[in-house]
Amino acid sequence: MRNNLELYVHIPFCVKKCGYCDFLSFSCDEHTQGKYADALMREIKAYGARMKDYTVSTIYIGGGTPSWLDENKMSEILDTVYTSFQVSKEAEVSMECNPGTVTAAKLEQYRMAGINRLSIGLQSADNEELKILGRIHTFEQFVKTYELARNAGFSNINVDLINGIPYQTCDKFLRTLQKVVRLKPNHISAYSLIIEKGTPFYERYKSDALKQEAGMPTDVLPTEEEVCRIYKMTQEYLDKAGYIQYEISNFAQPGYECIHNIGYWTRENYLGLGLGAASLIENVRYANTADLYEYMKEPAKNRTADEISRKAQMEEFMFLGLRMKEGVTRERFFREFGIPIDGIYHAALEKLKAEGMLMIREGRIALSEKGADLSNYVLAQFLID
Interface residues toward another protein, by CB under 8 A: 8, 10, 23, 60, 62, 164, 189, 191-194, 196, 212, 214-215, 224-225, 227-228, 231, 248-249, 264, 270, 272, 277-280, 285, 287, 315-316, 319-320, 355, 373-377, 379-380, 383
Q: Which is nearer to another protein, 248 or 259 (CB)?
A: 248
* Contact yes or no for 375/321 (Cβ under 8 A): no
Q: How far is the CB of 362 from another protein (least distance, A)?
A: 26
Name the minimum Å distance from CB 361 to another protein: 22
377: Cβ contacts below 8 Å, ≥ 6 apart:
357
Return the closest-CA partner of residue 76 out of 50, 40, 46: 40
Closest to another protein by CB, 125 or 280? 280
What is each CA distance from 182 to 1, 78, 177, 241, 352, in whole angstroms?
Answer: 44, 32, 8, 9, 39
DSSP three-state, residue 136: coil
We find the least distance from the C-beta atom of residue 171 to another protein, in angstroms, to be 18
Read off the amino acid at residue 156.
Answer: N
The torsion of the CA quartet 109, 157, 276, 375, rounded to 10 degrees, works out to 180
Report in angstroms how near the CB of residue 112 gets to another protein at its nearest.
25
In the chain, the amino acid numbered 123 is Q
- Of the pair 128, 225, the CB lying nearest another protein is at 225
The residue (of 148 and 357) whose beta carbon lies closer to another protein is 357
Q: Give me the phi and psi of 152, to 5 degrees please.
A: -75, -5
Q: Of the two residues 85 and 264, which places its CB atom closer to another protein in the complex?
A: 264
Whole-Å CA distances, 55 to 1, 74, 92, 278: 10, 21, 13, 19
**Cβ-contact 25, 62 below 8 angstroms:** no
* Beta-carbon count within 10 A of 321 CB: 21
Q: Which is nearer to another protein, 15 or 214 (CB)?
A: 214
C-alpha distances out from residue 267 to 122, 157, 271, Å: 28, 24, 12
CA distance 345 to 384: 9
Q: Decide whether 46 or 278 has the Cβ nearer to another protein.
A: 278
CB of 261 to another protein, least distance (A): 8
- Alpha-carbon distance 152 to 231, whole Å? 33
Contact 63, 18 (CB under 8 A): no
Cα–Cα distances (Å) from 6 to 215, 225, 237, 337, 383, in that order, read: 39, 38, 32, 22, 26
Rg value, the chain, Cα: 21
Minimum distance from residue 278 beta carbon to another protein (Å): 4
Shortest Å distance, C-beta 157 to another protein: 18
> Taking the complex as a whole, how short is the minimal distance between the CB of residue 137 and another protein, in angstroms?
19
The answer to whether 270 touches 264, Cβ cutoff 8 Å, is yes
Residue 212: strand pairing partners: none
CB nearer another protein, residue 143 or residue 194:
194
Q: Name which of 146 and 319 has its Cβ closer to another protein.
A: 319
State the nearest-atom distance from the C-beta of 359 to another protein, in Å.
17
Instruction: State the nearest-atom distance from the C-beta of 364 to another protein, in Å.
Output: 22
Task: Considering the complex, state which of residue 347 and residue 383 has its C-beta at the smaller distance from another protein.
Answer: 383
DSSP string, 121-132: EEE-S-HHHHHH
